[in-house]
Structure formats: C-alpha cells, structure tokens
A and B are shown apart, each in its own frame.
Chain A
Amino acid sequence: NAGVTQTPKFRVLKTGQSMTLLCAQDMNHEYMYWYRQDPGMGLRLIHYSVGEGTTAKGEVPDGYNVSRLKKQNFLLGLESAAPSQTSVYFCASSYDEEWHTINTDTQYFGPGTRLTVL
C-alpha cells in the first residue's frame, strides 16, 4: 500500500494564479482532511470530508475550495493564490468502515506539499 500520497511535492505560484493539490489514499478510508502548517505552528484544518461527495469547512477555509468526487481522492483548490497561503499543506485520512477497530480514528498523513506564493 502506498498509504496517502500528495501531488505535487513543491510548487511556486505568483499572486492571483490558481492551482489544485491532489491527495490520494489506498486504505479505503471514509474520512479525508486538508491541513496547513505554518512555521512554528501546529497544523490547522482547512476542509474535510466524511465521505464521497461530501465536504465541510474546518478552522481556516477562506480562499480554498475542495472536492471529493471519488472516495480515494480529495482535491484542494486555490482559485486566486495570495502570499498568505504560502505554507506546507498536508492531507490525511482515517476510518475504514470495514475494519472498524478501537483505533479507527487514527489519522494517516501524506508527505506534504510545500507551496510558495510570490
């Protein structure tokens, strides 16, 4: 299993440009998340999804949109990038309905995408 993968690993944008970050998981997880991490900070939740076709806002959703058209994929979009969105973006997933265990809410993280907006 590849676990949670993210594409791309690095990206540099100019202010106002748009881009989409792709997250894929092969663990049959129901829940998926997008977080951002800024220097010296913990992670903050941007958006999340509790199933295919569903999305919800997290702590810091402004300036981002998401879609979950397939269970294994969760896309994060920036329509008009701003320097304040320079960050490292992490995707995570959890909860396999078919293998429900006491640790079912354990979150598994991708390797991250380092985004710089100039």
Chain B
Amino acid sequence: GIQVEQSPPDLILQEGANSTLRCNFSDSVNNLQWFHQNPWGQLINLFYIPSGTKQNGRLSATTVATERYSLLYISSSQTTDSGVYFCAVPLLYSGGGADGLTFGKGTHLIIQP
C-alpha cells in the first residue's frame, strides 16, 4: 500500500509565526486530504487537494502530484491552531477514496502565546 510520511513530527512556535508542514507519499494519488485534530480529539477536514494550490484564510495547501508531496502553510499562527495535522491519501492505488484513506502519523503543532 501507499506509504505516507509527515514532517516534522513535532513543532513548537510562538503566536504569530508562520509554519510549513510537509507530507510525502510513495505513489501517485488522485485524492489527498489534510485534517486538523484539535486538543479535544475532533478531526476537521481542512483541504481536499489532489493537485494544485488552495487557500482558506490563514491556511493554504499545495500538492505537487508529480513529485509526490504536499505542503500545508499556516500563517500568523494562533493558539487555536494547536493540535495534530494529518495528511491522508487513498488506501488503495486504484481508489478515488471510496476504499478509505491511509494516514500519516501527523505533525503535532503547539502554538505558545
């Protein structure tokens, strides 16, 4: 199956700083999603981004499918950005996502006031 690696595993920043989180995957994909798991455990979908760039407020994401990586940018960090950020791709190469997702181990982000 597809392997997903995220870096860095941990990141501690001061409020107002910018950060870049990286996701590498081992095979071509047609579906990539970024999630934020808040300190209470809730998983929120941030982006569905199989290729290209998307922006949503202070967050943006870029996926370069041909080079098998995706980046999540967080600008002007706030304490509410703390939590774990996961990227996920289809479990099966042939799947568009119907077969479920495989997740990286996540980046644990702590934003200090």
Chain A: residues with CB nearer than 8 A to chain B? 31, 33, 35, 40-45, 48, 50, 56, 58-59, 88, 90, 94-95, 102-103, 105-109, 111-112
By CB atoms of chain B within 10 A, which of A31, A48, A95, A105 has the most? Answer: A105
Set of chain B residues within 8 Å of A90, measured between Cβ atoms: 43
| B105 part of interface (Cβ distance < 8 Å) | yes
Decide yes or no: A42 and B98 within 8 Å by CB, A59-B91, A106-B45 being known contacts: no
Asked if A58 and B100 sit within 8 Å, CB to CB, the answer is yes
B interface bracket (residues with beta carbon within 8 Å of A): 20 to 34
Decide yes or no: A42 and B97 within 8 Å by CB, A107-B45, A111-B42 being known contacts: no
Asked if B41 and A33 sit within 8 Å, CB to CB, the answer is no
26 A-B residue pairings within 8 Å (CB atoms): A31-B97, A31-B98, A33-B101, A35-B100, A41-B105, A42-B103, A42-B106, A44-B102, A45-B91, A45-B101, A48-B99, A50-B98, A56-B99, A59-B1, A59-B91, A95-B97, A95-B98, A102-B48, A105-B96, A106-B48, A107-B33, A107-B88, A107-B101, A109-B35, A109-B43, A109-B44
For residue B108, give the distance in angstroms from its CB to the closest CB of chain A.
Answer: 9
